Structure 1
Amino acid sequence: MTVTFNHTIIASKDKSASAAFYRELFELPEAPSWGPFANVQLDEGVLLQFAEPPVDIQMQHYAFLVDDELFVRCLAFVEGRGITYWADPQLKREGETNTEHGGRGFYFFDPAGHAIEIITRPYL
């Protein structure tokens, strides 16, 4: 069996709002949810499972690889909602995108405060 990524649980202040944000950002349909999770299904069956833990949420970093066309729409989504974004993880190049690794990328914070990176080319 090969190793593939199946799911991760992402802490959220409002699991439904976070799941809706990611569905809209990536233009995804609703996915079945169960138990304490609001789910978002990515390609290859990968699940993002949003949950509301009874503890303070620590910021995490999540990077998503998208094609060039979706990148443009993701950036428009972020800009359309007035979300600040940066070209760099140090948050110094506000309102810019980068051309690292032969592709394009940008960083922003999701509604739960997690650092999100959208890229069009993998680093390796």
Structure 2
Amino acid sequence: MAKQKVESLGIAVGSLRQVHHIAFNVQNMAASRHFYGNILGLHELEGDEVPSTLIKLKAAGKVTNFRTPDGIIIDLFAEPDLFPPDSNPEKQFTRANHLAFDIDPKLFDHAVEIIKQLKIAIASDVVTRPTGRGFYFYDPDGFMIEIRCDPLDE
């Protein structure tokens, strides 16, 4: 059967460049750092590798970041009081925080406008940080998605 091309009603096909990061809520930061760093062997970001917006959170033990071999960042956010409705992770994905896609800074505002025009549920309006801008919204199942971009070169 031939593959049908799906007409895009939203962000132009090909505009999202790559997965920028994946964020997980974790109950036990020490256990999660051990798992991702020592068991999976991922590189933990330290020193100048840590994004400037996360330095204070990392120092407080509230976030840890790892880089996969293909460059995707996994953010672990400490949520010690998080108890999902079901302890079986196959039944709920409450431990995941969001999936972030990178987009060209020149296309960011247009993409945000499209999401708003389509009346997609929004988690938070545009957030501006020294590392760029992000916009958070929900997929049809309530999982948070972020589109983010680096700062525009001025």
TM-score scaled by structure 2? 0.37
- Which of the pair is proportionally richer in strand? 2
TM-score scaled by structure 1? 0.44
